[in-house]
Structure 1
Amino acid sequence: MQYKAAIFDLDGTLIDSLADLADSANEMLTSYGYPTHDIDKYRYFVGNGSRKLIERCLPADKAADSAFVDEALAKYKECYDRNLTHKTACYDGIMDMLQTLQARNIPLGICTNKHQSAADIIVAKLFPKDMFVSVIGDCKDLPRKPDPKKVLLIAAKMGVKPEEVA
């Protein structure tokens, strides 16, 4: 079967955002006087959302305190909003691949659990305007991945059946 459209995740798929995530978490940790972590350690901290990232990078006693995690998460988000695109970049070869797909008239979309406003800022900075038919991030109206609702919505905007999407 030949696919008629492609939908991608953002972090860790199209872009390498680890350095900005790590810098933001370390900035939050420093504000509390806690030790920071090497970027390589953050490879094991990311992947399950911002709250899990914060729980994993905090000292164990603080990570067990839900109210403190809420506070630290809010501080982290403030830091990350300032650092969204300082070091974040496309992985090697990604732009060429996306342009090749576009040249073949394959519509492109992004489905991410990153907050919608952050996803929009990053996509606007790193990719040509109108490269993606739709970019759907974390929002109140739609459940987070792995729920398929966001992907199905993007496929509908592209005018393709879900089974036609890679």
Structure 2
Amino acid sequence: MERFHFDTVGFDLDGTLIDTSGDLAAAVNHALAQDGRPPLSVDAIKPMIGGGARHMLAQGLAATGGGADPLLDQLHRVLLEYYEANIYVHSVPFPGALRALDELARRGVQVAVVTNKLERFALEVLRDAGLLDRLTCVIGGDTLGPGKSKPAADPILEMIRRSGGGTAAFVGDSIYDVAAAHAAGIPAVACRFGFLMQPVEELGANAIIDHFDELVPALNGLR
């Protein structure tokens, strides 16, 4: 087999490897209900996902009448407690995700996850999905400390370091993913099936896929 161009391929978690929208929406709506607010649909919450739980909840509050920081702080704790207790009820890997990871491993590629989800939650979701043992490393939004989550380059650079260095690419579904990859000097692949905040063509990715079956050919096209 011809040597694959990338030594490491990193992935976002929510909206890229795993459809976690049902469980995240349930957690947001549980928090909103504590303040007597109406629930939001899963489709309304999907574009709010990607910047971490606090950012997601802040947008949920804005969509239901707004709220000051003390309320956000209170409901953020409520959301995290609920989500931790109900972390993998509706979540499921996107079609072809496991097959794509196995194909990359067959080609000798190190596979990693960089997410803005808290590291402990990311590990639990990946474990429940049966993906954790396929990964070289998992870097969460809190792994490197404040200010060092996507769209900063830091977690991508740390992913490359922990994976042994060399060439890398990153796969995601948001502007945070593409911006972090480009800040780290590596190409980005965007997933049209993810939790898009805007048209996927506007993310500035180097390639776009509609299904994980397209991932390896797309990466080969980024030589």
Whether the TM-score (by the shorter chain) exceeds 0.5 is yes
Structure 1 residues 60, 160: CA separation in 2 closer, same or farther (over 3 Å shift)? closer
Q: Say which of 113, 129, 133 aligns to 2:136.
A: 133
TM-score, normalised via structure 1 length: 0.89
Taking the aligned partners of 2:142 and 2:62, their CA distance within structure 1 comes to: 29
Given that 2:61 and 2:67 are in contact with CA atoms closer than 8 Å, whether structure 1 keeps it comes out as no
Give the structure 2 partner of residue 43 of structure 1. 46
Deviations 1:122-152 (A, max 9, x none): 1111124531010111226341112122222
Structure 1 residues 153, 48: CA separation in 2 closer, same or farther (over 3 Å shift)? closer
Structure 1 stretches lacking a partner, 5+ long: none
Greater RCO (CA < 8 Å, at least 6 residues apart)? 1
Q: Say which of 4, 10, 13 aligns to 1:10.
A: 13
Given that 2:123 and 2:132 are in contact with CA atoms closer than 8 Å, whether structure 1 keeps it comes out as no
Q: Does residue 27 of the first structure (1) align with residue 26 of the second (2)?
A: no
Given that 1:62 and 1:68 are in contact with CA atoms closer than 8 Å, whether structure 2 keeps it comes out as no
Give the structure 1 partner of residue 66 of structure 2. 63
Taking the aligned partners of 2:115 and 2:96, their CA distance within structure 1 comes to: 20
Percent identity of equivalent pairs: 26
Q: Say which of 119, 122, 143 aligns to 1:119.
A: 122
More helix by share: 1
Taking the aligned partners of 2:100 and 2:137, their CA distance within structure 1 comes to: 18
TM-score, normalised via structure 2 length: 0.68
Deviations 1:50-94 (A, max 9, x none): 222212222668633111111111111111111211111100000
Structure 2 stretches lacking a partner, 5+ long: 170-223
RMSD, matched Cα? 1.9
